[in-house]
Chains A and B, each alone.
Chain A
């Protein structure tokens, strides 16, 4: 139980285009989801907290107009990287608070902007 599905697992896009990443809780409802970014050989950094039915809370230094988060239902949160540039290339991973306690993570999305 408490599975989070994240898609796509890999995406390559051209500079200037937008990319949407989906995070779904499959067998539970997630009122809160979290989005992290991980650069190669570095740690995971919390980008934003996504709350169902309300605006996301962004961490300091994260551009909310660039990383659009939508959490329109209790099972789906999306992260859209708008006007992507090569420096946005990274591993993005979502998580949700698990009804079993703790956090459940998606499998991550490796974004490459060329």
Chain B
């Protein structure tokens, strides 16, 4: 069975600091997908990134970057020069793929509550 661990329950930093959110996953499948979502207080889930298991390239999108390392089963998320608007709960999630090519529902980590103080 798959599992996603976000060991950091809450992180608080001062604005403009860099912050890294950790995500460690477990799966028996060789084909899987990893995701990061942002959940502001409104509750809506905001998609940030999707990465398949065959693509270990790191990705940068503006102030956001992701480091995928299969060797350590980690998919960490870094926010550079954090801003107050980055305050939210961030979820890492995993989806395994059926042999028929379909995708399973998502298994979410417990989330990291990120607080950016002005």
Contacts and interface: CB of A to CB of B under 8 A. Distances in A.
A102 B51 CA distance: 9
Contacts, number: 51
B89 to A, nearest CB: 9
A46 B107 contact: yes
Interface of A: 32, 34, 36, 38, 42-46, 49, 91, 93, 95, 97, 101-105, 107-108, 110
Interface residues of B, number: 21
Interface of A is mostly: strand
15 contacts: A32-B102, A34-B106, A36-B105, A42-B111, A43-B109, A43-B110, A44-B106, A44-B108, A49-B105, A93-B43, A93-B45, A95-B105, A102-B47, A103-B47, A104-B47
B108 A102 contact: no
Contacts of B44: 105, 107-108
Contacts of B111: 42-43
